[in-house]
Amino acid sequence: MSEHDRATDTGPGTETPPATPPEAPAATPPGAASEDAAPGALRLVEDFVNTLSVETGTETLTDPAALAAWLTTYGLLPDGAPAEQAGLDRARIVREGLRALLADHNATGPTPDEPDGDPYAQALAALDSAARELPLVFDPYADPPRLAPATSGTVDAALARLLGHVAEAAAAGTWVRMKACRMCAWAYYDHSRNRSRAWCSMALCGNRAKAKAFRDRTR
């Protein structure tokens, strides 16, 4: 995924424990990560949100087959597993709900849960509803133990896994560094020391924002 399409995972006498369930394949973003990319599993979330460019309307998840291909490429769906229209609809809901959360991390005005925050308020409400259909369960066999999808091998399991990465990042304190650009809503990870980065790219949206601010001041 490019930075921007504009240019831019006993002893005797005790009960025998259940067999360890097979682990899902490691979810891994394809290709080498750039220095600006989100770290670890957050890069999956970053690239997932950026399957749509809000500014240009460029959509990667154009149909169920495209969704299945993307999830398979990122190790979130087994090769050959199908995707249906309902799965595509839910994936887009999860994606835009995550974008609303990232925008809240970079907000200077209303937050997504405030009435004036539309359409982010709608996206967040839709994510809240969709997430209830994507359950995570405690996996004691993982090292370290973690929350994992309740099912496997489906689009819903892949989406639940993405939300699990969000929960892990929130616990680790890195989630707050995931943001949506104030100019174009592109997802990025804020590597700055004081988390002050406001744009996906200073050379692109940063300069555009400064030019707009200058025009507004000189009117």
Judging by DSSP bridges, how do beta strands 187-189 and 178-180 pair with one another? antiparallel
Strand partners, 136: 149
Would you say residue 175 has pLDDT above 60?
Answer: yes
Helix (H) or strand (E) segment spanning residue 214 = helix 207-218
Would you say residue 39 has pLDDT above 90?
Answer: yes
Question: What phi and psi, each to the nearest 5 degrees, are found at residue 136?
Answer: -115, 145
Mean model confidence pLDDT for the chain: 82
Handedness of CA 201, 205, 211, 216 (dihedral sign): negative
Which residues lie closer than 8 Å to 165 by C-beta, 6 or more apart? 27, 41, 42, 44, 45
- Angle CA 76–141–128, to nearest 5: 50
Q: Compute the average pLDDT of residues 106-127.
A: 73
Name the band, by pLDDT with cuts 50, 70 and 90, for residue 199.
confident
Q: Compute the average pLDDT of residues 22-41.
A: 68
Q: What is the pLDDT of residue 210?
A: 57
Q: What is the pTM of this model?
A: 0.80
Would you say residue 73 has pLDDT above 70?
Answer: yes
Q: What is the pLDDT of residue 195?
A: 83
Range from 26-30, 46-50, 183-187, 202-206 that averages highest in pLDDT: 46-50
Residue predicted with more confidence, 46 or 16: 46
Burial class (CB in 10 A: 0-12, 13-18, 19+), 149: buried
Q: Compute the average pLDDT of residues 102-106.
A: 93
Would you say residue 72 has pLDDT above 80?
Answer: yes
Q: Which two tokens stand for residue 65?
A: 């087959």
| Side-chain half-sphere CA neighbours of 47 within 13 A | 25
Q: Are 146 and 168 in contact (CB under 8 A)?
A: yes
State how far the Cα of 141 lies from the Cα of 186, in Å rounded to an integer: 36
